[in-house]
Structure 1
Amino acid sequence: MNILENLTVITMTIWTQRKLAYGLLLIVCSVMLFSCNEKKAEEKEEEEKPQTEVALNESQYKTVGIETGFVENRNLNKVIKANGYTTVPPQNSAEVSTLIGGTVKDIFVLEGTFVNKGKVLATIQNLEVIEMQEDYHSATANIEYLQLEYNRQKTLSDENVNPRKVFQEVKSKLAAERARAQAAKNKLDALHVSTKGSTSLVPIVAPISGYVGNIKIAKGAYAQTGITLFEVVDNSQMHLDLNVYEKDLGSISIGQVIDFVLTNQSNKSIKGKIFGINKSFSNESKTVAVHAKIESDDAKGLIPGMYVSANINITNATVPALPKDAVVRNADKYFVFVQEEEHAEHKSEEEKTHEKETHFKAIEVIPGTTDLGFTEVKFVDKIDPDAKIVTKGAFYLLSAMKGGGEHGH
């Protein structure tokens, strides 16, 4: 019986020890699992932390050509950007046509030729012109006869020799012939044809002084009425038509100076001055046409229809600024790179064998007006006024930072 009791006690003891061991194992596993999860969370947090620093060794620094500078106070113009095209006032552009159809006899000019007002550009032939001249000559001849008859009948009528009715008939015929002669003369004058002599040729003359544009007729072709034969443009009053959006209209006023460049020739800036602002929107673009005059000397070489990009100068202010290449964009934010100061540290012999490194930190800024190669900057966080800011090579630093930051040794 004692033996059985001893066995029972031993069994219970072993069972209790096993339960205790399992409990301890469970506690250890829980602690390890918690530690792993915490470590992963820390790693994840570190991974999500944005990279804001980059380092270059001496070789990279020289190869990239890094240059630094300081924030400067610059006198910059606030500008409104607008696109448009060159044009001339309506009175400085003419489309030349003919009032009477006919066959083109001669063309006396070439495209690009400068002509004065009244210059004969071409002649067309139409036999109806001869009839107009005959009508005029006939009417003037009748007027001479009827004028004499009028004078005679008036004298007789005043002396009561002839009935007054005869005098009234002569007077009526004289007035009719004078009207016919005037009508024939008006037609010939409109066609620039002389009332003297007899000709079938109608001259096509320049209505304004300027340069001949497109010539749309050929010798021997039939010129129809109402169809443009020539274009003549006077470029001396060249101006710009700029499209300004509704949100910017409140800042635009007459007299403001603009700087513009030709879209396809951006190497030369030309100045102008606003002289007119439309009072209605252009079609569905929600823009208003703003007219700017170009000085005559600057207008040389310009032709109507050339597209331009313009800056309308609104205000002038002194603001903190950096060269525009110092400001780089990453996603929807803008940054500049500040060169960090070297810290005196104890380095091992192995570290001293490596090339010297220069560290840069990306600092967020809010860009403002860009003018004359400089951009206004406002720092999100305050920085040292004497901080060295990268003015050349910032884009390379941004690429290096996005690619993983510091270079590998």
Structure 2
Amino acid sequence: MKYLASILITLLFYGCVGKQVTDESPEASEAENILELSDAQLASFTLSSTMIQEKKITQTLRLNGKIEVPPQNLVSVSSALGGYVKSTRLLPGMFFKKGEAIAELEDNQFIQLQQDYLVAKNQIENAEAEYLRQRDLNQSKASSDKVYLQAKADYQTLLINLQALAQKLKLIHINPDQLTVHNIKQTIPLYAPFDGFVSQVFVNTGKYVSPSEVLFELVNPSDLHLNLKVFEKDWGKIKVGQQLTAYTNSEPGRTYAGQAILIGKNISTDRTVDVRVRLNGGGSTLIPGMYMNADVVIPESTAFALPEESVVDFEGGKYVFEIIDKNKFKMRSVQCGEQGDGWISITNSEQLDKKKIAVQGAYTLLMALKNKGEE
């Protein structure tokens, strides 16, 4: 019995000791967040305070991206028929006007096509006359149906051939209505389809190009887009039609107004979403591939907030300092939300209700608390 009693007393003793250590741990942890300064230390820096308050916060997102050309504004120029490049004056970066001749091709098939059209045009006149004559004879039963139908088929075949040749001539920019035996051409021009600039040149004088071969790549700068990268956490804040201001790193003072026209529905490997923006007044000052920044103003929201200066970063967390009394301060953890206009919203604001919070001097208090921990 005495041995059993001894064991019980020993267990009770250690149980009490363990409980005492557990009860003291939170107090020890709490004490680490308490800072006391002397009057002399307080006099060495400026300290101001505020209380959490309801504010209207306008947030500005700063994004970056680059200028891109929509597919319909990047045109690959080729020839409908193959030929040799007789001349071209285009160089990468060169500007041109709509309707301007940008190259000239020559080939025997251009001459042959015009010849075939003129021959077919002459043949159809005789075929039409024969068709009309056989139709009249057939109506009076002076000609058989077989002869009439053959004349009709010959006429219609030549008509189809003539129309097909006319369309081919239009593809190489020759007007069939103005073509005569006196103005047959051995060269054909290629015209610029819009006002723009040259992105790439793939040919040189004397080179033979096939119909499938691209001669030039042209850019229409009238509708350049800015492709911005928006982080996943901010994706829901951007709406179609939202206004923004864009600028380059080299000329931050020169701004371009724009608006979001498309918002991506896919998150990339770097956790961003593409937002396509149409810029106003970019013109020739912006070129594809140019990097740009953009400021997007998010409509204001109401929240309980503190000045940004009052919130300090420490070991990956956000903290503020509560002023307990003149010389005593307590570091408190906070969860932050939107920020803008110099204010930052506090999502756990109920924990700071009616408490005085250090603003100016908060970072100095953090340094003093860290020095205390090192000691």
What's the counterpart of residue 354 of structure 1? none
Instruction: Establish whether residue 390 from structure 1 lines up as the match of residue 339 from structure 2.
Output: no
Instruction: Establish whether residue 334 from structure 1 lines up as the match of residue 292 from structure 2.
Output: no
**Match for residue 181 of structure 1 among 155, 162, 187:** 162
1:245–1:330 distance in 2 versus 1, CA, 3 Å: closer
1:176 positional shift: 1.5
Query: TM-score with structure 1 length normalisation?
Result: 0.64
What's the counterpart of residue 349 of structure 1? none
The whole-number CA distance in structure 2 between the counterparts of 1:50 and 1:368 is 23
3-state SS of paired residue (1:220)? coil
What's the counterpart of residue 235 of structure 1? 221
- Higher mean Cα deviation, 363-372 or 70-79? 70-79
Q: Deviations over 1:299-348 (max 9, x none)?
A: 773334445565665542244555645533211211346789866xxxxx
The one-letter code matched in structure 2 to 1:76 is I
2:232–2:267 Cα contact (<8 Å) kept: no
What's the counterpart of residue 138 of structure 1? 119
Instruction: Establish whether residue 206 from structure 1 lines up as the match of residue 192 from structure 2.
Output: yes
Q: Deviations over 1:270-319 (max 9, x none)?
A: 554334445x547777876544443x236773334445565665542244
3-state SS of paired residue (1:123)? strand
3-state SS of paired residue (1:99)? coil
The whole-number CA distance in structure 1 between the counterparts of 2:119 and 2:58 is 73
3-state SS of paired residue (1:122)? strand
3-state SS of paired residue (1:153)? helix
3-state SS of paired residue (1:135)? helix
The whole-number CA distance in structure 2 between the counterparts of 1:398 and 1:272 is 42
3-state SS of paired residue (2:336)? strand
When the two chains are superposed, the root-mean-square deviation of aligned CA atoms in Å is: 4.7
Q: Deviations over 1:120-147 (max 9, x none)?
A: 2212222211111111111111112222
Q: Deviations over 1:197-234 (max 9, x none)?
A: 32232322223333332223223333343333222223
Unmatched runs of 5 consecutive residues or more in structure 1: 1-37, 344-358
What's the counterpart of residue 172 of structure 2? 191
3-state SS of paired residue (1:171)? helix
2:83–2:208 Cα contact (<8 Å) kept: yes
1:336–1:390 Cα contact (<8 Å) kept: no
Q: Deviations over 1:130-185 (max 9, x none)?
A: 11111111111111222233333333333433434333322222212221221112
1:338–1:390 Cα contact (<8 Å) kept: no
Instruction: Establish whether residue 49 from structure 1 lines up as the match of residue 19 from structure 2.
Output: no
Q: Deviations over 1:93-130 (max 9, x none)?
A: 32222223322222234434443443322122222111
1:5-44 to 2 correspondence within 5 Å? Answer: none
The whole-number CA distance in structure 2 between the counterparts of 1:323 and 1:267 is 28
1:54–1:401 Cα contact (<8 Å) kept: no
The one-letter code matched in structure 1 to 2:360 is V
- Higher mean Cα deviation, 207-216 or 257-266? 257-266
1:105–1:219 Cα contact (<8 Å) kept: yes
The whole-number CA distance in structure 2 between the counterparts of 1:328 and 1:54 is 19
What's the counterpart of residue 151 of structure 1? 132
2:33–2:330 Cα contact (<8 Å) kept: no
Instruction: Establish whether residue 376 from structure 1 lines up as the match of residue 345 from structure 2.
Output: yes
**Match for residue 281 of structure 2 among 264, 272, 297:** 297
The whole-number CA distance in structure 1 between the counterparts of 2:309 and 2:214 is 52
1:250 positional shift: 5.9
Identity of aligned residues (%): 27
1:367–1:249 distance in 2 versus 1, CA, 3 Å: closer
Who wins on radius of gyration, i.e. which is larger?
A: 1
The whole-number CA distance in structure 1 between the counterparts of 2:317 and 2:86 is 69
What's the counterpart of residue 220 of structure 1? 206
Aligned residues between the structures:
345
1:262-273 to 2 correspondence within 5 Å? Answer: 271-273=257-259
1:250-261 to 2 correspondence within 5 Å? Answer: 253-258=239-244
3-state SS of paired residue (1:211)? strand
Query: TM-score with structure 2 length normalisation?
Result: 0.69
